[in-house]
Structures are given as C-alpha cells and as structure tokens.
Amino acid sequence: MTWLDRDLPASAPTIGYTLSGADALSATIDHTYEHLQADDGQPLLRDHGTLLVVEFDDVVQGVGILRSHEKAGESLQLECEGFSSITDGQRITQTLTWGGKTTGGTSGNGADPFDVVRGVYSFLQGRPRSNLGITVGSGVSPYRVGSWYNARKLATPDDPNPKASDIEPEIPINRVWTTADRKPPPATGQEVFWLYQLAWYDDHQADSVIEELARMAPFDFRERYAWDGTGPDGKNGLALRLELGYPRLGGRRRGPVITDENLIGDPVTESSTGGDYFNAVTAYGAGEGAKRLRVTVSKDDGRLYREKSIDVPDATNTAVLKASAEMELARVSAPYDVTGFTVDGEHPAAPIGSFAPGDDIRIDAHGEWGDIDMWVRVAAMDIDTETSRVDVTCARSDSFDYSGGTG
C-alpha cells in the first residue's frame, strides 16, 4: 500500500462497527480535495482502490475500503466498507482442502472452522492486487466440519445387515467433537479418513462460507486495526486483524449503563417477540421410547401456556437436562425485545469506548411499554464523530445461545 495523503481534509466522519460483519466508514471531503487529483485530472481516490483511515489521538478508530463516492457541489461524499468486505461476493476459484487420506485426514477429527476462515483469507489475499496484509486470529474452536470416508456402511431399514466390506458414501461430522467420541469403524480393508473441501467447481462464495460456519459452530468475528509500529512515528503502515471468538466475542460490561439521562431522542426501540415467545420448555435427553429422559420447566406469567421442545441427546441425568431447559426458558420467555437506542457518547454513564459490538450492557430506563431493566447485547453501533451520537443495534442478552454447537 502507498500513502496518498496523511492529513485528508475530511469532515464529520461516521464510523460503523459491526459484530460478525464488515465495519463501515463515511466522510465528506471539502473543496481542498483537488490536490488529490492526478495530472490528467482524474481523482486519486478510487472506488475499490483506496483505503481510508480515521485516527483520533494517535489511535486508529476506523478503516474502510472506498466503495463509492458522490460529488455534491465542491464536496465529495465517500462511502467505505471494512476490510472484511473483501469476501463479499467473491467466488472461491481454487480448491481448498483440509484433511484427506494422504494429507492428514487419518488423524484428528475434522477441520476447525477457524482454520477454514484462515484458509479462505489466505486464498483471497493470494490473488493479484489483493494482499491487504490481513491476519486472522490464531485461536481454536472445538467445533469440527467435514465428513468421514471409508467407514463401514450403516444399517438401514432397507439394508439392516450390510456386509463388513460395504462402504458408507460419507458420514458428516459437523459438530463439537469431544474425547468421548470415536471415529466410525472402517469397512473391511479400508482406512477411515476425514475430509473438508471447498471445490472450485461447486460455486462457493467466500462470504457465504464464513457466515455459514459462524452460524453452525457458532462463533463471532470482528475487525481490529491499529498502526503497525513501523517508521519514525510508528505509523508507517496498518495492522489489520480479523478477531475470532468461540462461542462469542465480547462480555458483560459492568460499567456502562444506559439510562434516561444519556439516551438521545426517542425511547429505546422495543418489539414483541411474537411467535418466538414460550413460557414452558420440555427438554428430551438420552434414551429411547418411554425410557428417554424428559424434563419440563415453565413460568406462570399470566399468559397462555406455550411450550417449546428441545433435544439434548448428550444429557444422561435430569440435573443436566433441567439446566438446559431452564437456560432455554430464560431465552424464549421474554415477551418483548429491545432492538436499538441512541446514546450520548460523551455522557460519563456510557462514554464512547466503554462498550463495543459483542458486549452486553445494561439498560435501566423508561420504554414505550413501561420501565426497562435488562441486559442487551450490542450487535452494531454507528458513531457520529462530530456530535458523539451513538446509534446502537442490539437484542436481549438472554436471547442468545452460547452453549456451543452440536450439529
């Protein structure tokens, strides 16, 4: 990357931070932008060819790839997307493989989705004019994707006694793999191996692959950026990093509180949970038929009885099963949700920087339907750097499930 300007005359940049998605950046360049024109009069600021950086107090606050611009009078309105947008609509045109009979698939138990994300970014940045120097977090997850091959054929109603030499076409893994799990037995004369592959001819889109893995596992991702520490002032280049977290990023922030004093404009935005509301949960555990474990928990909240069923096949005792049912009941028994609010980022109760997408923060304020005292999880936030106004998109904290995927 080559610096075009280290002091761009931008006004009122707005920075958008997003959990498990690309950040956003918009700014207006005033009439002095003419010095960013080439000798032929063409702008040096090019859509899909320029990276904009917003810095406050020597700290990088936002980074965006210029996606579009519009001239209005003597000003130029710039719209940018975060660096993770390099995955958007990009087809994987090279076969990416994890495991396999001759490439490590005879040990282990499938591919870690984090490794797949790293592989996708490596492919994207390995193409011509594509290397932004993005690194992907080095963490791991317990979830595994892929399929077993060469396993002995499973019995079916149509074929209850398959031969020991018959091979099952494939057995999907796609779940959290524990020390209690075992790979399937091999067919006679075969060696079982696992394989996860993104074949170039299967029309895989990079963004869709990552989003699907994040939903399955689940895991969160978000953009991180900073000066890379090189050069006389430490600002010669940027360090761009995609942070990954299983089963989530962020945490409960005890400091910031959203109250009537720091809210701006209308009350918090509330919505009915509608068809997703239940006040009873029945959980089914291990066992079969009448011997299968079953636990029901409920809440008498004056509403019609609505029961939801969940399967927890690994639960072998009622205490574990009841805990799962109670966790699910807490998640689905709220009659309404808080989906957004606007807060004054200069107010000491919840100043800018005290929370970020992925974090849980408390709301203690008046709402459209009465008083609200609950925890919400921040999904996205847009910061107006001129007014310190922060628009937050959120959802009830207990509406999320962080128990980890089981496939």
pLDDT in tens, 344-370: 999 999 999 999 999 999 999 887 667
Whether residue 19 contacts residue 71, with contact meaning beta carbons closer than 8 Å, is answered with no
Predicted local confidence at residue 407, as pLDDT = 40
Residue 31 scores a pLDDT above 70: no
Q: How many residues does the chain have?
A: 407
User: Predicted confidence band at 66 (pLDDT cuts at 50, 70, 90)?
Assistant: very high
Give the pLDDT of residue 180.
81
State the pLDDT at residue 330. Answer: 83
> Could you give the CA distance from residue 385 to residue 389 in angstroms, rounded to a whole number?
7
Residue 109: DSSP 8-state: S
The answer to whether the beta carbons of residues 360 and 397 sit under 8 Å apart is yes
**Weakest-pLDDT range from 23-32, 39-48, 75-84:** 39-48
Dihedral angle sign, alpha carbons of residues 41, 47, 53, 54: positive
Q: How confident is the model at residue 5 (pLDDT cuts 50, 70, 90)?
A: confident
Q: How confident is the model at residue 406 (pLDDT cuts 50, 70, 90)?
A: very low
CA 356, 362, 366, 370 dihedral sign is positive
Cβ atoms of residues 228 and 238 within 8 Å: yes
Would the pLDDT of 223 be above 70? yes
Q: Identify whether 160 is preceded by a cis peptide bond (ω within 30 of 0).
A: no
Using the predicted structure, report yes or no on whether residue 372 has a pLDDT greater than 90: no
Name the more confident of 33 and 184.
184
Longest CA–CA span in the chain (Å) reads 82
The answer to which of 68-72, 128-132, 238-242, 394-398 has the lowest mean pLDDT is 68-72
pLDDT at 40: 72
Q: Is the pLDDT of residue 90 over 60?
A: yes
**Residue 229 confidence class, pLDDT cut points 50, 70, 90:** very high
Sorted by where each starts, the structural domains of the chain and their CATH numbers stand as 10-81 (no CATH), 96-222 (no CATH), 278-332 (3.30.1920.10)
Tokens for 232?
A: 């006389």
pTM: 0.86
The total of other beta-carbon atoms located within 10 Å of residue 66's CB is: 19
What is the pLDDT of the chain when averaged over all its residues?
A: 91
Is beta strand 238-245 parallel, antiparallel or unpaired with respect to 134-136?
parallel
The torsion region of residue 110 among left (phi > 0), alpha (psi -120 to 50) and beta comes to left
Contacts of 325 (CB under 8 A, 6+ apart): 281, 282, 283, 295, 296, 297, 310
Residues 280, 305: contact at Cβ < 8 Å?
A: yes
Q: How distant is the alpha carbon of residue 188 from its chain centre?
A: 42
Does residue 39 surpass a pLDDT of 80?
no
What DSSP state is assigned to residue 6?
S
Q: What is the CA radius of gyration of the chain?
A: 26
Report which residue type is found at 205.
Q
Model confidence at 327, pLDDT cuts 50, 70, 90, reads confident
Query: Is pLDDT above 80 for 325?
Result: yes
What phi and psi, each to the nearest 5 degrees, are found at residue 310? -135, 155
pLDDT number for residue 33: 65
- Asked if residue 276 has pLDDT above 60, the reply is yes
| Nearest residue to 286 (alpha-carbon basis) of 180, 193, 208 | 180
Helix boundaries (H) for 318-390: 318-332
What is the arithmetic mean of pLDDT over 273-288? 88
Average pLDDT over residues 243-249: 96
